[in-house]
Structure 1
């Protein structure tokens, strides 16, 4: 899932641009966020971001065109793992946040103190 989000971000980022990955605690588990400085997604299209084929990559003629399947696959994986994925509105670039539970299967492993 994360590799697909990174692949998308690298494909649409500016030639000398930035792709950023953030990992943070979240009330529902762990949040993984991927940000890029590419053309972004129009606010009117955010609701369609995870619909199969709805947002085929058409922004960069010098890069391979995506199939439009990656985000829908990521959404299905997040759901199967008990998590969520969202496209976050931004003024520039794109931001996708995946929130996954700390454990899959109902139990949370005990924390081991750092040494």
Structure 2
């Protein structure tokens, strides 16, 4: 008499349910594809225009991480980046002043 592999079946089902949940979670992060033209991006609300403290306008992705459209980096060509203030607002600051860069610089200068 053949025995059913109950543990193996249960394991497979558990893995499948985990994958299904993961796919559900991914849907929350579905953003428009990055290959949009700039105008399409603006129309869809994926790209917006921001003015940095130097007075220059840059196109930035509005959803997900704030990434500069021009440089594809987290800071724009003038070296400004977005930071979230503790009060919940957002501010544009020179990159070395923002979070991890400043800490890293401090660590590097103190160590020498």
TM-score range, shorter chain: under 0.3
Q: Which of the pair is proportionally richer in strand?
A: 1
**TM-score, normalising length: structure 2:** 0.22
Question: Which is greater in Rg?
Answer: 2
